[in-house]
């Protein structure tokens, strides 16, 4: 009798484990980026994929071949919904383009988060990225410090006209600089995350408006283009250039003087923490809607220390 009872218990245990194994679901997650590779978004991709590996998720990073192609990004987001993803993360930069899709994703029970841009609580569970006002003020303070008493006319170089977060940064940037009569803001310019286009636009602007002697960048590839312009035209002593992000390329430009400094955003954290925060929410742990990943200004004398701390290999 004892042997029969033991066999029954063993069978029940096997069946229970089998049901548990069958019911255990692998979370499917998609990150829709604005571009493939690049100084900043390659780090977001790495953070996302590292988090998926650590959490045991089935994750994929997808992005348009042409940077910032919002219609392709919309198609990629739609595909994530139709293929029954559990998690949708992305840099959805325009509520008019992405709003309806993200609302539908949430209605279907998909967890939605955005990186470095926010559209509103009806569209997403939360956002994580650089606080727009904080970044704009940090950029303005940095420019004011570099300018001193010098007369400066600055161009604000960003990704596109519809980049909501960058427009908010620009608003905070211009507001802060109202107290600095020696600094005037020429306006916004757009580089579509293309290095060559950024360099060409700056060259054309300076040619048409010789009083322009500074560029503050809100786009990582635009910062590379700015550094290339400064380097190729040998204007390091006369031109103020403030980069953004902390790739090895940008840090080397700060060391060489092609950029006066760069302001780091933690794109790796945006990719990684967006996953871990959603995982928390799935398990009943709440997070605030707004999540600032922070900024840090990297001047030339801090480059080597910063690179060593972050494990970034740069030129000696």
Identify the pLDDT of residue 24: 67
* Residue 263: DSSP 8-state: E
CB atoms within 10 A of CB 187: 11
Mean pLDDT of 301-305: 96
**Residue 224 near residue 249 (C-beta atoms within 8 A):** yes
φ/ψ bin of 38: left (φ > 0), alpha (ψ from -120 to 50), beta (otherwise):
left
Percent of the chain scored above 70 by pLDDT?
92
> What DSSP character marks residue 16?
H
Residue range 127-184, pLDDT digits in tens: 999 899 999 999 999 999 999 999 999 999 999 998 888 999 999 999 999 999 999 9
Per-residue pLDDT reduced to its tens digit, 88-119: 999 998 899 999 999 999 999 999 999 988 88
Distance (Å, whole) CA 34 – CA 158: 14
- Cβ burial of 113 (10 Å; 0-12, 13-18, 19+) is buried
d(CA 27, CA 30): 10
* Global pTM value: 0.71
H or E, element range at 189: strand 183-190
Give 10-36 pLDDT, tens digit per residue.
444 444 444 343 346 899 999 999 999
Buried b (16+ CB within 10 A) or exposed e, 145-176: ebbeeeebbbbbbbbbeebebbbbbbebbbeb
What pLDDT does residue 105 have? Answer: 98
Q: Find, among 270, 279, 262, the residue nearest to 46 by Cα.
A: 270
What residue ranges define each of the domains in the chain, with the CATH number in brackets?
26-129+267-293 (3.40.50.2300), 132-244 (3.40.50.2300)
Alpha-carbon distance of 239 to 199, in angstroms, equals 14
**For residue 185, which phi and psi values (nearest 5 degrees)?**
-100, 115
Q: Is the pLDDT of residue 209 over 70?
A: yes
Distance from C-alpha of 73 to C-alpha of 35, rounded to nearest angstrom = 9
CA–CA dist 217, 226 (Å, integer): 8
Task: Tell me the chain's radius of gyration from C-alpha atoms.
Answer: 23
* pLDDT at res. 3: 55
């Amino acid at each position: 009798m004892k042997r029969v009872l033991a066999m029954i218990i063993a069978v029940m245990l096997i069946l229970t484990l089998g049901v548990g194994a069958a019911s255990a679901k692998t979370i499917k997650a998609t990150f829709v980026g604005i571009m493939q590779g690049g100084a900043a978004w390659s780090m977001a991709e790495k953070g996302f994929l590292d988090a998926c590996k650590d959490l045991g998720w089935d994750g994929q990073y997808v992005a348009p071949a042409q940077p910032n192609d919002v219609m392709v990004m919309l198609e990629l987001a739609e595909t994530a919904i139709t293929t029954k993803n559990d998690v949708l993360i992305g840099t959805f930069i325009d509520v008019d383009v992405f709003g309806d899709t993200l609302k539908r994703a949430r209605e279907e029970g998909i967890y939605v988060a955005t990186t470095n841009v926010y559209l509103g609580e009806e569209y997403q569970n939360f956002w994580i990225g650089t606080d727009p006002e904080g970044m704009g003020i940090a950029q303005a303070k940095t420019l004011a410090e570099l300018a001193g008493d010098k007369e400066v006319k600055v161009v604000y170089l960003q990704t596109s006209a519809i980049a909501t977060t960058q427009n908010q940064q620009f608003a905070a940037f211009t507001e802060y600089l109202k107290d600095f009569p020696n600094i005037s803001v020429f306006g916004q310019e757009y580089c579509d995350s293309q290095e060559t286009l950024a360099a060409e636009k700056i060259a054309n602007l300076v040619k048409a408006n010789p009083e322009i002697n500074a560029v503050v960048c809100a786009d990582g590839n635009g910062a590379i283009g700015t550094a290339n312009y400064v380097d190729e035209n040998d204007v390091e002593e006369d031109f103020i250039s403030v980069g953004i992000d902390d790739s090895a390329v940008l840090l080397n430009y700060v060391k060489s003087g092609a950029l006066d400094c760069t302001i780091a955003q933690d794109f790796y954290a945006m990719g990684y923490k967006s996953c871990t925060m959603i995982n928390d929410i799935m398990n009943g742990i709440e997070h605030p809607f707004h999540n600032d990943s922070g900024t840090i200004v990297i001047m030339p004398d801090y480059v080597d220390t910063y690179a060593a701390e972050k494990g970034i290999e740069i030129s000696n």
